[in-house]
Chains A and B, each alone.
Chain A
Amino acid sequence: MRFVNVQKSYDGETLVVKDFNLDVASGEFITLLGPSGSGKTTCLMMMAGFETPTHGQILLNGEPINTVPPHKRGIGMVFQNYALFPHMSVSENLAFPLEVRKLSRTEVAQKVKRALAMVRLEDFGNRRPAQLSGGQQQRVALARALVFDPEIVLMDEPLGALDKNLREEMQYEIKHIHEELGVTMIYVTHDQSEALTMSDRIAVFEDGIVQQLAEPDVLYEKPCNAFVASFIGENNRLVGEVTSLSDGGCIVRMETGEEIDALPVNVASTGVRSTLSLRPERVFIEPDKGSLPNIYEAEVREVIYLGDHLRTRVCVCGNSEFIIKTPNALGHPVLRRGNTINVGWSREDCRALDA
């Protein structure tokens, strides 16, 4: 499936989707991640055929499908509230897509049985959806989207209504089904950890534009702009002005005067403002002098004990919301509120992004 310069507007005044380009490989698990209102669900609806693009083309196997009605696209879909038909039993729900395809009765029964086995609900065929728990309903919805062997399955925040434990369990289950069946899955969520767990690639949406499309590790470690950096994972932001810029590095001066050596990612020239992005776990406490290009004095404001790691909030370079994550390992330095310490980080971990 390909999206070429797709735009979508509902009211003729504002574009919900501004310029969407995406090339989904067969068998891939792609997640559209973004805050609510960023246009990700609209894109999904255009794939399914419930919305038509205002501009641009959607191609499926090289054929434009802009005008193909939803029921002829052969795309499975899992909805946010599952959309299981309440007046039908679980088996009838699963049989529905097969019956409208006019499959023979034995074939329907066989496929329904197989789909129920896939989601481990063999004994629940005669129940009504209302008699199932949230997780079971979710699995039925998944089975129903897969039962007619579609090439592509779309999922619109399918785990949003589940509690945390069940959600994590389902994430793995969906992931395993994906690996087993080799079906292409396009998944919409606003939960970044869900996206990181499941996806081959993630498209981060904001303001109708894909901000970055990359593998989970790239997205986390090498965000290409300030939005992605702050949206994926925890992130320390330091804002300053670029004073010098070379190929492998740049110097950004803070308002408080510190000059930080950073990796230029998304800065055009000297003189522009830039946001430095720094992951909390990449900050070192009391590094050896000279081992890192950036070493500054920091004042400890708060220490939070989280079991496996400690979060320390410090004030450094004028930013009092600066977080340092340290593993709760043997021999880690003990910090107290009010202590003054040195913190440092490398150039590669400190990415100079747009302001």
Chain B
Amino acid sequence: MNSTNLTTADGVPLKTSLRRAQRRHRLKAVLLVTPLFAFLLVAFVLPIMDMLTRSVDNPEVITYMPQTAEALIAWNGDGLPGEAVFAAAAHDLAKGSRERTIGHVASRLNYEKGGMRSLVMKTARKAKKWESGPYRELILAADKRWREPDVWLLIKRQSAPYTLSYFLSALDLRHGSDGSIESKPAHMKIYVDLFMRTLWMSALITALCLLLGYPVAFLLATLPMRQANLLMILVLLPFWTSMLVRTTTWIAILQSQGVLNDLFVWTGLIDDANRIQMIYNKTGTIIAMTHILLPFMILPLYSVMKTIPPSYMRAARSMGATAFTAFRRVYFPQTLTGIGAGSILVFILSIGYYITPALVGGQSGRFITNFIAYHMQQSLNWGLAAAIGSLLLGVVIALYMLYNRLIGIDNMKLG
């Protein structure tokens, strides 16, 4: 019989009838997830889209110096541009100065080339008074830096509505004077090193969490219920304490006049003059973050270990394997999904961590996130902040895909 011809008793096609019956269920399900979906859309998806847009968005020059941007299109970039460009620039600068919008352009150009802010602002102030041309002479007289073709090339390049220059900056690259991409001079390189540092410190933190968390998770999974519950509370206790409190506690413990150093001095391990600097550097960041992220390693490990019955180990031992061989060949391979899940969780949380490195990291223990915050709050270079953030997001997505490829995201369990 052909299934499409099936009908119910009163002649309605079976599929239609089934769809009708399920519609209510589906509607109910949709209604239940709508609030969360709306929340995620507003609080998560839209901000990320905004960030991604900002990292390439380049509205300043084209919005506030529109005539200049237009005029520069015709310029081939050879030598200085013609009178038309100068006239347009003079007009835009004067208008921008009157309407107090030229500051945006000045800041934007300054990101790319030091001194551009003062140059633009100064010239704009003068341009207000200019009645008539030739503007080329007026502008060149206003500041001799306008004689450099590089300045005009820069403005031409930044006239495009979208730019890669934030991403280039975030990777310690820049446009050379001829427009090609070159690496920044050594003293201006910050971000690649910082990315690398963030990555290796996160990897180290992940490794430490694994090293410390694995035995704890094993105990949790094998101890009798009562002791296991107590241990679980101890594992979760940090979760219930404010992170600020936990971080500042580490300051109290690790600082040079802190508990740990006092103990070392008291036991004679080190003398008073040589107290170890354990905070406001990499050590501080690594210790404090390992502590804070440890539960994120223990819980996925525990949830996997809990499902491994003790009879596997016993079976292995009864077949002649030593305790170590049984662990290595039978137990450990079965915990790999837990190790994967815990590691990727800790690593992703770690590379995006902000507060702890900011509090205890000092100069050398800072993460890339601290620079995102810096550009958000201090330098107000949101484009660069967005570009760094997008790169970080890219790393996370790449890791996630790698994990999915190797272990399968379905295997990620968190308790």
Residues of chain A having any CB pair with chain B under 8 Å: 48-50, 69-77, 79-81, 83, 85-87, 96-97, 100-101, 144-145, 148, 154
Contacts of B321 in A (CB 8 A): 71, 96-97, 100
Residue among A81, A86, A100 making CB contact with B320, cutoff 8 Å: A100
Task: Check A81–B334 contact: CB distance below 8 A.
Answer: no
Is B322's beta carbon under 8 Å from chain A? yes
Task: Check A81–B309 contact: CB distance below 8 A.
Answer: yes
Nearest A residue (CB) for B308: A86
Assuming the A-B contacts A86-B334, A100-B325, are A148 and B319 also in contact, with contact meaning beta carbons closer than 8 angstroms in the complex? yes
Contacts of A80 in B (CB 8 A): 311
Task: Check A144–B334 contact: CB distance below 8 A.
Answer: no
Task: Check A148–B309 contact: CB distance below 8 A.
Answer: no
Assuming the A-B contacts A83-B311, A83-B312, A85-B312, are A77 and B334 also in contact, with contact meaning beta carbons closer than 8 angstroms in the complex? no
Nearest B residue (CB) for A102: B320
Report the 7 A-B pairs with minimum CB-CB distance, sorted nearest first: A97-B319, A83-B315, A77-B318, A83-B311, A70-B317, A100-B321, A79-B311
A50 to B395, CA, bound (A): 47
Task: Check B318–A71 contact: CB distance below 8 A.
Answer: yes
Task: Check B322–A71 contact: CB distance below 8 A.
Answer: yes
Task: Check B320–A101 contact: CB distance below 8 A.
Answer: yes
A237 to chain B, nearest CB (A): 38
A154 to B318, CA, bound (A): 10
Nearest A residue (CB) for B334: A87
A144 to B312, CA, bound (A): 13
Nearest B residue (CB) for A78: B315
Task: Check B309–A83 contact: CB distance below 8 A.
Answer: yes
A83 to B315, CA, bound (A): 6
Contacts of A144 in B (CB 8 A): 315, 319
A71 to B309, CA, bound (A): 18
Contacts of A73 in B (CB 8 A): 318
Is B316's beta carbon under 8 Å from chain A? yes
Task: Check A71–B311 contact: CB distance below 8 A.
Answer: no
Residues of chain B having any CB pair with chain A under 8 Å: 309, 311-312, 314-323, 325-326, 329-330, 333-334
Contacts of B311 in A (CB 8 A): 79-81, 83
Nearest A residue (CB) for B317: A70
A217 to chain B, nearest CB (A): 32
Contacts of A154 in B (CB 8 A): 318
B339 to chain A, nearest CB (A): 13
A303 to chain B, nearest CB (A): 45
Contacts beyond the supplied A85-B316, A100-B325: 8 A-B pairs with Cβ under 8 Å? A70-B314, A71-B319, A77-B315, A83-B314, A96-B321, A96-B329, A97-B320, A144-B319
> Counting chain B CB atoms within 10 Å of each CB, which of A71, A75, A76, A81 scores highest?
A71
Task: Check B314–A100 contact: CB distance below 8 A.
Answer: no
A69 to B323, CA, bound (A): 10
28 contacts between A and B (CB under 8 A): A48-B314, A49-B317, A70-B314, A70-B318, A72-B320, A76-B318, A76-B319, A77-B319, A79-B311, A79-B315, A80-B311, A81-B309, A81-B311, A83-B309, A83-B311, A83-B312, A85-B330, A87-B333, A96-B316, A96-B319, A96-B321, A97-B321, A100-B319, A100-B321, A100-B325, A101-B320, A144-B319, A148-B320
Nearest A residue (CB) for B313: A83
Assuming the A-B contacts A48-B314, A50-B314, are A74 and B309 also in contact, with contact meaning beta carbons closer than 8 angstroms in the complex? no
Contacts of A74 in B (CB 8 A): 320
Nearest A residue (CB) for B321: A100
A101 to B321, CA, bound (A): 8
A141 to B334, CA, bound (A): 19
